[in-house]
Structures are given as C-alpha cells and as structure tokens.
Amino acid sequence: MIVLAALVILLPFAGAFAGMLGGRRLPQPWVACVPVAVSTVLAAVVAFTVWRSPGERVGTLTLIRTGTLPIRVGLQVDGLSGLVGIMVCCVALAVQVYSVAYMSDDRRYTSYAAFVSLFTAAMLLVVFAGDLLLLYVGWEVMGVCSYFLIGHHWEDRANSRAAVKAFLVTRLGDVGFLFGIFVLGVAAKSFTISVVLLHVGGMSHTTLTVAAFLLLCGVVGKSAQFPLHTWLPDAMAGPTPISALIHAATMVAAGIYFVARVYAVFWLVPAALTVLGLVAVVSMVGSALAALAQDDLKRVLAYSTISQLAVMAAGLAVGARSAAVFHLVTHAAFKALLFLAAGCVIHATTTNMLARYGGLRRTMPITFWTMTAGFAALVGVPGFSGWFSKDAVIGAAQHGALHNGDYAGHVQGGWFAYAPVQTPPSPVRPPGGAVWYFRADPGLHLPSGVAWTIYLALLLTIGLTAAYSTRAWLMTFFGEPRADAPAHEAPKLMTWPVMALTVPAVILGFFGLGAHELRPELEPSLLGIVLVAAGFGLVWLAWNRDPAADPVRALGPVRPVFAKAFYLDELYAFVIVRPVRTLARGVAVFDRIGIDAAVVGTARGARRLGSALRIPQNGNAQSYLTALLGGVVVITALVVIFQ
C-alpha cells in the first residue's frame, strides 16, 4: 500500500522531470497526461483498499539523522489521504487533458505541462506525507509552482504582479506555519504525524495553543482566508485550467486538509477553533458579497472559492470534520467543472466579461448544461453534491448554536473518543485512526455568541451563493447575444473533461449517505432550500425586468464597495505597500548619497593619491636622469652652504 502511494506521487513528478528535460523532443501531451492517468488508477486502488479495510498504514522510506530530531521520509495512508488523493488525481487529469486543446497554440506549453505535473506531485506529497517536514516540502513546492503557473504569460505585467503577490502573501503565512511545525515536533520529540498525534494529549496547553495559532497562519494564507485572501482573485491572471487546479484540488485545499489531518491539535485548543470560525465568517460572507458584484466570470468563481473554503473552515470550527472533508471533495468536483466550463465560454467569446456574453445556451449547449449542473451543486440544489455536504456543515453549526456552543456530543465521524483522567493515561483508539492520549474530556465548547455567528453566517452565505450564481448563469446563457463574434462549442478535448466532471458534481453527494453524520437533517435542509429559492428569485426578478442590464444594479452605491471587495487591497496598499515603497526609496537615496558616496569618495581619494605617487615611477628614463642631476646639485649646494 505504501509502495502504491509512493508511485502515485512519483509518477507526476517523473512526468514533470521528463517534460522539463525533454522539452519539445518528447510528445508532450502524452508525457503530461499518461503519468497522471496511471497515478489516478493507482490512487483509486489505494482508496478502494482503504475503504474495504479501514485503518492506518505508515511506512518509512528512509531516515535522515539531523543530530537532534530525525526526519522520517515516509508516507501515511488512511481514509482521509485515500479520499483526498483520488480527488487530486482526478481533477489534475481533467486539467491536463483539457490543457492539450486549451494551450495548443502556446509556445510554452512544455513548461506549463511540466509545472502542472509538479504541482500535482507536490499536493499528493502533502496528502500522503507521514512526516510534518516532508509535508512542508510539498507545501512549499506548491507555492513555487503557483508562482510560475499564475505568471505563465509573464510578458503581461499584470500576470507577473499577480504571481509575485500570490507568492509573497502565502509565504507570509508559511513563516508561522513552519514555526508551528517546529513547536509540535520539539514537544513530541518527533515530526512523524502519527507520533505527534499520539502525544498531543500530553503536551502543555501553552505549547498546543502556540502551535495551533502558528499553524493557523499557514492555513489562512494557503486556503485564502481573511485577511490573507487577496492573492486568490488576482491569481485569475493565470490560464483558466490553472485556476481550476488551484481552486479545486491543490493549493487552497491544502490548508483545509492539513487542519483535518492534525485535527486533534486544534480540537484541544478551542480558542484556535474560535478564531478559525470567526475568520470563516468574515471570509464566507465578505467573499460572497464581492462575488455578487464582479464583472469578470473568473473572479466571480474566485470569490466563490474563498467563500466555500470558509464553509469548510466553519465546519472544522464546529467539530464537523467529516462534513468539512466531504464538502472539500464535492467542492473539488463542481468547482473544477465550473472553471473548465468557464474556460470553454472564454475560449468561444475571447473575453472574461459577463456583459459580453448572453444567449450562449443556444450555441454552446454542452457547456450550458454542464455549467448549470456545476452552479446547481455550488448553490446546493437538493440532489446535487453540494447540497449534501453543505447541509451536513449547517446541521453541525445549528446543533452548537442551539446548545450554547457545546459540540461535545456532536463530533462527526465518531473517531474522537477520549479517556478520563488517569495516571498514567490510557491510550484511545478511534476507529481507523491513530492512538491518542487525552488527560481529560476534549469536548469542544465555543462561546455561544460565536456559535450563533457561525450558524447565521452560513445561512446568509447560502442565499448570497444562490444570488451570485444565478446572476452569472443568467448573464452568460440567457438574454440576447452580446459577443462580438458568433460563439461556438469548445473542442472535444475541452468538453470531454467538463462532461466527465459533471458526473461527480451531480451524484457524489449520495456516497455520503452511508455515514450517519453526513445525512442531511430535515430542518436545516428545508431552511437551506428556502434561502436558495429566495436568492434565486430575487436575482431572477431583477434580471427579468431588463435582461440586457446587470441584475445587481439595484445595489446602488454599495455595488462599487462589493466590486472592490471592500477596498481591502487599497487598504493594504495604503497601510503596507506605500510605506514600504517610501522606505525603500529612502533607503535607496541614503545608499546613493551616503554609503555609495563614501565608497566612491574613498575610491576617488585612493586614485588621486595613486596618481601623485606614480609620478616618480612613470618609467621615463629622461625624468629619472633629470631627477638624479637635480638631486646632485641640491646635495652639492647644501654641502657648500653648511661647510
């Protein structure tokens, strides 16, 4: 099993290595697609094996002795990694196949495909890593790959700036993330994930709190949550398939996955989960409002990603780990579908602007029906995948709100058992999980106000999601055509992956019905349906009055505020960017008139002194003879005078 997991990671890496070295001498579509396809098959075998025989498999490939704490280069396979691994591979395969047609005229397709493969391998390393430092390697390689892929068309300054912004903002969070790993590793005397989870119950509360908040910095940056979310909308400057890969299965999914992987650390620090919940509230509502007023189709989907990731973060904050992971998987399916379908629209119309679409359902029927299914899953229409996973999160949030923030009896998945205080503490063996020691009841209790805030924000987000999805759907496919040229259906290599992703976007939710904690509850489901209908109805009525106009024009003066995402980028520019630039200019001036002037002045003084000293050493024999005779005359005169 560990060998298969290693092959799942190594095959895309080998494809990236071959693509970078072989260049155009190799048949690039095959080099890009075949390794990921084989990796997908092997990931399916791993996932099926874990499903048939639940449990954790840990294997060490090699041991690196550092002089202090050893680093075990090993992998860990369990239900969580098996599920997320097959998710990553399926989306990556769809993106690679789609890119063959989408990037067919790009002369840098070779490097593009290689970086996509490396990106995929890095995310799979995060998923299957059995050591925190090995996980961190994959975590950082993803950051580097995102820089190159977002800035693929670097000749456009906006693209290169977006790539730099994504790299710097995520690196800011990763500083805290790395120190959080160090805190956990030193406290557990090992970086092996299973060993760390074994010892979390014996760590001091201060150690766990520091580690949890430091790790949360990296999670917030990677998963684009407030206040480090601003890089994700700008990342739309990259090619559309990259947007699908980043937003659906890699990069942003890594933060949510990591919290689920080491959930015991956060569970024992309710303050960290409280902060995560509040961050999720701001992110989900603020991003949904921003999506409502965007003119660019890809930016609508980008802000939607931030909002849906916040829904997952909210699920983790209220103890609904299984529901959060379930929504991570369903979101990967329908968001990859939406981005790739959006790429078909952009390919046909040569523009990202919603105002330039209209009436595309007639000329692009495949894209229309597949994108409709994607929007239905995103909104949470009953029967589609997003409805099942989102309602499971809302059900958990409702439980805590109605029980004064107490989630002790509503831990989803049944794997969070605990032992009463004993000396020494006895091991706890959750089904299919590692052995964890707890010194006391780890039941989660959030402040009642926070629990209610999370629950109400989730309900508001449902209505807003329906509203912005309906607006994008209507402006793209209905009304009169507004494109400059007649639209057409995308090539088959682009439509096939979109149709393939439609299947899980529609039916994936039914696979969660076998788990009791993932079954939708009647009351939250009915309330969610009412909110979806309200969001859809309001936008439909506004659009139906004037199909040629933007349905959200009724927002009036607040629309520019939403369109600019509450001017947070402008605030950062004023508070951070401008002062840093001013300081940089001051340093440059000081360097020029201070340090450089001193260095240059010293050089000039040395040159002048050297010029004076070289006069008697110029190699001219006539000058030497003249000086000799002059010296003899002076000496003779002195002798005569003083005799």
If you average pLDDT over residues 347-375, what whole number do you get? 92
The pLDDT of 447-457, averaged and rounded, is: 94
* Assigned token pair, 596: 């450089």
Quote the tokens at residue 280: 């999720």
Residue 491 lies in a domain: no
Q: Give the tokens for residue 120.
A: 């995929």
Share of the chain above pLDDT 70, in %: 91
Distance, in Å, from the CA atom of 367 to the CA atom of 360, rounded to the nearest integer, reads 9
| DSSP sequence for 584-612 | HHHHHHHIIIIIHHHHHHHHHHHHHHHHH
| Tens-digit pLDDT profile for residues 220-252 | 999 999 999 999 999 888 889 998 998 887 889
- Rounded to whole angstroms, how far apart are CA atoms 526 and 223? 30
Give pLDDT tens digits for 315-333.
999 989 999 999 999 999 9
Is a pLDDT exceeding 80 seen at residue 418?
no
Q: 376 or 61: whose pLDDT is higher?
A: 376
pLDDT tens sequence across 179-212: 999 999 999 999 999 999 988 888 999 999 999 9
- Report the SS3 class of residue 155: coil
Q: Which tokens hold the place of 337? A: 């579908």
Cα–Cα–Cα angle for 554, 559, 562, nearest 5°? 140
Decide which of 550 and 536 is more confident: 536
Task: Give me the mean pLDDT over the 95-111 stretch.
Answer: 89
CA distance 156 to 140: 25
Q: Give the list of residues 6+ apart from residue 478 with CB closer than 8 angstroms, or none.
A: 358, 359, 361, 543, 547
Contact 46, 8 (CB under 8 A): yes
Q: Is residue 11 part of a domain?
A: no
Six-digit token string for 369: 């029906």
Of the ranges 337-351, 542-556, 614-628, which one carries the lowest mean pLDDT score? 614-628
- CA 640 vs CA 235, 469, 629, 631, 637: distances in Å: 93, 112, 17, 14, 5
Instruction: Give the Cα separation of 125 and 259 in Å (integer).
Output: 16
Total domains in the fold of the chain: 1
604-619 pLDDT, tens digit each: 888 888 777 776 666 6
Residue 465 domain flag:
no
Among 118-122, 174-178, 549-553, the least confident range: 549-553
**Rounded-to-integer distance, Cα 604 and Cα 372, Å:** 73
Q: What is the pLDDT of residues 420-437, one digit of tens each?
A: 333 333 444 443 444 444
Residue 76, SS3? strand
Least confident of 4-18, 522-536, 616-630: 616-630
DSSP class per residue in 242-289: HHHHHHHTSTHHHHHHHHHHTHHHHHT-HHHHHHHHHHHHHHHHHHHH
In this model, does residue 624 exceed pLDDT 90?
no
Amino acid at site 237: A
Q: Which of these ranges, 398-412, 480-494, 563-577, has the smallest mean pLDDT?
A: 398-412
Residue 361 has a CB neighbour count (10 Å cut-off) of 17
Report d(CA 401, CA 151) in Å as an integer.
44
Measure the CA–CA gap between 617 and 454, rounded to whole angstroms. Answer: 86
Host domain of residue 603: 573-642
pLDDT exceeds 60 at position 510: yes
pLDDT of residue 126: 96
Look up the pTM and report it: 0.88
Q: Is 460 helix (H, G, I), strand (E, B) or coil?
A: helix
Question: pLDDT value at position 90?
Answer: 95
| Per-residue pLDDT band at 107 (split at 50, 70, 90) | confident
The average confidence (pLDDT) of the chain is 87
pLDDT confidence of residue 54: 86
Q: Is it the case that residue 411 has pLDDT exceeding 80?
A: no
Tokens read off for 184: 């956990």
pLDDT at 482: 82
Calculate the dihedral angle through the C-alpha atoms of 370, 376, 381, 385, rounding to the nearest 10 degrees: 70
At residue 389's C-alpha, the angle toward residues 383 and 395, to 5°, is 105
**Is the preceding omega at residue 233 within 30 degrees of 0, hence cis?**
no
Indicate whether 591 belongs to any domain: yes
Residue 590 falls within a domain, yes or no? yes
Helix ranges (DSSP H) in 129-239: 132-150, 157-188, 193-199, 205-222, 231-234
Quote the CA–CA distance of 63 and 509 in Å, as a whole number.
Answer: 41
* Residue 82 in domain: no
Q: What is the pLDDT of residues 246-269, one digit of tens each?
A: 888 788 999 999 999 999 999 999
pLDDT in tens, 150-182: 998 888 888 899 999 999 999 999 999 999 999
Q: Quick check: 440 pLDDT over 50?
A: no
The mean per-residue pLDDT over the stretch 41-61 comes to: 90
Residues 6+ apart with CB under 8 A from 352: 236, 296, 297, 298, 299, 346
* pLDDT tier, 84 (very low <50, low <70, confident <90, very high otherwise): very high
Residue 123 lies in a domain: no
Distance CA 431, CA 570 (A): 49
Ramachandran class of 515: left when φ > 0, alpha when ψ lies in -120 to 50, beta otherwise: beta
Q: What is the pLDDT of residue 25?
A: 65
Query: Does 227 sit behind a cis peptide bond, omega within 30 degrees of 0 on the bond before it?
Result: yes
- Work out the pLDDT band at 419, boundaries 50, 70, 90: very low
In a domain, 596, yes or no: yes
Q: Is 625 exposed, middle or buried (0-12, 13-18, 19+ CB in 10 A)?
A: exposed
Answer yes or no: are the C-beta atoms of 89 and 124 closer than 8 Å.
yes
